[in-house]
Amino acid sequence: ILAARHALLLSPLDESAAARTMRALCDGKRPALALHEYEAFRMRLRAELGVEPSRELREMAERIRAASGVGSV
């Protein structure tokens, strides 16, 4: 988890780093935190670049949400 978060800290707009962080948090049984990281990443992308995350990352967030029972962020 630390290595993935460090990579995201170094490159806050790197979608692959966001995906690795989310995956690591899920593997660590922390889906709510993974969804929080997704939302923070989504907001950064929107603020900095005016875009949304890729379809793949959005679908990953939806799968985490569905599997964990965590509500929408």
Q: What average pLDDT does range 33-45 have in this prediction?
A: 97
Q: What is the pLDDT of residue 73?
A: 45
Count of CB atoms within 10 A of residue 25's CB? 22
Q: What pLDDT is recorded for position 71?
A: 65
Higher pLDDT, 16 or 8: 16
Apex CA 50: angle with CA 73 and CA 6, to 5°?
Answer: 65
Query: Could you give the C-alpha distances from 26 to 36, 47, 49, 50, 61, in angstroms and in order?
Result: 12, 26, 27, 27, 11
The whole-number pLDDT of residue 26 equals: 94
Each residue's pLDDT tens digit, 19-37: 999 999 999 999 999 999 9
Over residues 3-20, the mean pLDDT reads 90
